[in-house]
Amino acid sequence: MKQINVGVLGFGTVGAGVVRLLVENRDILRSKVGADLHLKYVADIDTETDRGIALGDGVLISDAHKMLDDPETDIIVEMIGGEGIAKEFILKAIRNGKHVVTANKALIAGHGNEIVEAARQHGVDFAYEASVGGCMPIIKSVRESLVGNRIHAMTGILNGTCNYILTKITEEGSTFEDALREAQAEGFAEADPTLDVEGGDTAHKLAILNALAYGMRINLKDIYVEGITRITPLDIAFAAEFGYKVKLLAISKNRGDAVEARIHPTMIPLNNPLSNVGGSLNAVTISADAVGDMMLYGHGAGMMPTGSAVVGDIADIARNIMTGATGRIPVLSYQPEAIREVPVLPVDEIETHYYFRFAAADRPGVLSKISGILGDLGISIASVHQKGRKTEGAVPIVMLTHIAREADVRKALTEIRNLNIVCKEPVLIRIEQ
């Protein structure tokens, strides 16, 4: 039986999950792949900590270049993370003719075009299923299962930390700060959660999915990103009264000559399947011309779910090696010559429904002044709720709109904020029906 040698860069949480599967499930992998996936090296600066996995002599090394320069190592698995040394190691592995697997969404979103071109030039496979959605086979679905479809739109809950926090606020009335602390205690959030809660992690994933779905170069910088730090229990409670839940959504729509790509807290109806995705779980819905609507759902992070996706990529590459089929599936779904520059629609040009909450003075004529500004800018109000009197003299006024243009909404809110009857910054949450 053919032996295919694998080297793993990074022996942290996810790296250990990959190693565990390669070691403990070696027999089942052999029976399914038809080759022996031999773990030849694991490289990490920490070679002393016991990860509870039995490795043979000489497998765990501190010198990554020994692995990268070894002519017998066929597949390199990058589990270091970040955009610095990880990029250097991946490009070196590719130049040395080695196939590469990674879960590094930040690296792919920021430098994927360069890496994909390097893989093409050197005739190797570059696989990254685990970079989006953990164990959900979203990349495989878009690249392979939906190859005959025109994809119209994708909507996803792609960050488990944010989903966990919003679930806690929704179900228990927690504040954002308390929910974040609990997420950190449970291991769902990093000590510095900025990348998650401000939407950056989700943006990395959406940039990758856009490229796969629409035949465009990876474009991270033009995606509109808004995090969940300003979401309050009050707004989530109002959303529930109107029949909505609040989720941090990655929204992507094919507009033909442009792509709508945005990430922000969103109110979605309770009958939308995504509204029932709770805790740290992820989910993605895809709308396409042949299949209609479909949904993938599962763990988006964690040692073993992510490790499972990585090992799936290793197995795919091993099969390609055995059959001489390297490059059979284009790395970015489309053939290189078909990939083009597709502009991302500026957020000011999007049109959707909106939720507003104003803290206004408790006096006659307030509602007419606010609605007058909205009306002057063509923003039609679907419903208005004034929620009781407050002792400080301010009352919350909540409005839902019909479809409106973002630029008009922003202009209206600026004018309303400048009224002397409005006490605080207005709250805006977009609604997707």
Domains and CATH numbers, the chain: 3-135+303-334 (3.40.50.720), 138-299 (3.30.360.10), 347-431 (3.30.70.260)
Q: Is 249 annotated as a binding residue?
A: no
Q: Is 54 annotated as a binding residue?
A: no
Q: Does residue 421 have a pLDDT over 90?
A: no
pLDDT for res 392: 55
pLDDT for res 389: 54
| Residue numbers annotated as active site | 205
d(CA 294, CA 274): 11
Q: Is 341 annotated as a binding residue?
A: no
Give pLDDT tens digits for 218-265.
999 999 999 999 999 999 999 999 999 999 999 999 999 999 999 999
Give pLDDT tens digits for 158-215.
999 999 999 999 999 999 999 999 999 988 888 899 999 999 999 999 999 999 999 9
Q: Is 19 annotated as a binding residue?
A: no
Q: Is 10 annotated as a binding residue?
A: yes
Q: Is 11 annotated as a binding residue?
A: yes
